[in-house]
C-alpha cells in the first residue's frame, strides 16, 4: 500500500489523439487514463487499431496528444517545446523497435554508442558505457561484429544495449519480439524481465503476443482508443 502515494513516473489523463476532420476523423486515443510507476514492467495489448502504438508514441514524445494531460516525472510534457521534448527523449527514454534499426555496416559497439554521441559523451567514456551495456545483454564478446554477423536475437540484444547505454528512466519497447522465433522471443523477454527486476528499469512494452505480455507485471488491454482493462499478469505478478 505504501506505493499508492508515489507520484507516477508516467501519468496520462484524458488523453485523446485525433487524426483527420469531419467524416475522415479517426480517434486513435479516446480519453486514456494511465499511470506507470517507476520500476514497473507494463505490457499494452489490443487488436489492430486499438491505439496501443499511438499511446506509446505519445509516451515517447514521438507524437503529441490532441487533448488531455501527460506528466512525465511530474513535468507536464504538453508545456515543453520541440527542443525540450527532444531533450526528454534523449536523456530519459530508451527505445526498442521490432525491426532493430541497427546501422548495417557498423559494429555492435558503434551502434550502441550512437545515443551517447548525441548526448555529447566523450569517446573514451562512450566506449566504456557501450561495452558495459553490451555486457549486460550478454554480447560483450560480439562487440566488433556487424549486424550481418549476428542472429536476429543477437541484433535485438544490441538494440536493447543501445537503449540501455543512455541510462534512461524508461524503456519503450514496440513489438520487441515481433521478428523472432519462439525460443529467441523468450530469451529476449527473460532478459527484459531481468533488467526490470534486478536493475529496477521501468519498461512499457506494446505486443500482440499474450505469452510475451505475461513476462510483464501488468497487462493493459486497449480497444477503440480506450483502456478496456488493467490487471496484474500471472507470471509477472509472482
Judge whether residue 123 has pLDDT over 50. Answer: yes
Q: What are phi and psi of 152, to 5 degrees?
A: -60, -45
pLDDT per position as a tens digit, 68-94: 999 999 999 988 898 999 999 989 999
Judge whether residue 3 has pLDDT over 70. Answer: no
Judge whether residue 5 has pLDDT over 90. Answer: no
Instruction: Report pLDDT for 1.
Output: 36
Give the contacts of 127 (CB within 8 A, at least 6 positions apart): 109, 113
Chain mean pLDDT for the chain = 92
pLDDT per position as a tens digit, 89-100: 989 999 998 888
Mean pLDDT of 24-42: 95
- The neighbour count for residue 198, using CB atoms within 10 Å, is 9
| Residue 67, beta-bridge partner list | 16
Whether 224 contacts 51, CB under 8 Å? yes
Q: How far apart are CA 142 and CA 144, in angstroms?
A: 6
**Which domains are seen in the chain, by residue range?**
2-103+153-232 (3.40.50.300)
Q: How far apart are CA 159 and CA 167, in angstroms?
A: 14
Q: How far apart are CA 70 and CA 97, in angstroms?
A: 22
pTM (2 d.p.): 0.91
pLDDT per position as a tens digit, 136-178: 999 999 999 999 999 999 999 999 999 999 899 999 999 999 8
Amino acid at each position: 500500500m505504501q506505493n499508492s502515494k508515489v507520484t507516477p513516473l508516467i501519468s496520462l489523463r484524458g488523453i485523446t489523439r485525433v487524426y483527420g476532420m469531419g467524416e475522415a476523423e479517426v480517434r486513435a486515443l479516446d480519453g486514456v487514463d494511465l499511470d506507470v510507476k517507476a520500476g514497473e514492467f507494463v505490457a499494452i495489448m489490443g487488436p489492430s487499431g486499438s491505439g496501443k502504438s499511438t499511446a506509446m508514441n505519445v509516451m515517447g514524445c514521438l507524437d503529441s496528444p490532441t487533448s488531455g494531460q501527460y506528466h512525465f516525472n511530474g513535468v507536464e510534457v504538453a508545456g515543453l517545446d520541440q527542443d525540450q521534448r527532444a531533450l526528454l527523449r534523449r536523456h530519459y527514454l530508451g527505445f526498442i523497435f521490432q525491426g532493430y534499426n541497427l546501422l548495417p555496416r557498423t559494429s555492435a559497439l558503434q551502434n550502441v554508442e550512437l545515443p551517447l554521441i548525441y548526448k555529447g559523451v566523450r569517446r573514451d567514456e562512450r566506449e566504456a558505457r557501450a561495452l558495459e551495456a553490451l555486457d549486460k545483454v550478454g554480447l560483450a564478446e560480439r562487440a566488433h561484429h556487424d549486424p550481418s554477423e549476428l542472429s536476429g536475437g543477437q541484433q535485438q540484444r544490441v538494440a536493447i544495449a543501445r537503449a540501455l547505454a543512455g541510462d534512461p528512466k524508461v524503456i519503450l519497447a514496440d513489438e520487441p519480439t515481433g521478428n523472432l522465433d519462439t525460443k529467441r522471443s523468450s530469451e529476449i523477454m527473460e532478459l527484459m524481465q531481468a533488467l526490470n527486476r534486478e536493475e529496477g528499469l521501468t519498461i512499457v512494452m506494446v505486443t500482440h503476443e499474450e505469452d510475451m505480455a505475461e513476462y510483464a507485471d501488468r497487462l493493459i488491454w486497449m480497444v477503440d482508443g480506450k483502456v478496456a482493462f488493467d490487471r496484474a499478469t500471472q507470471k509477472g505478478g509472482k
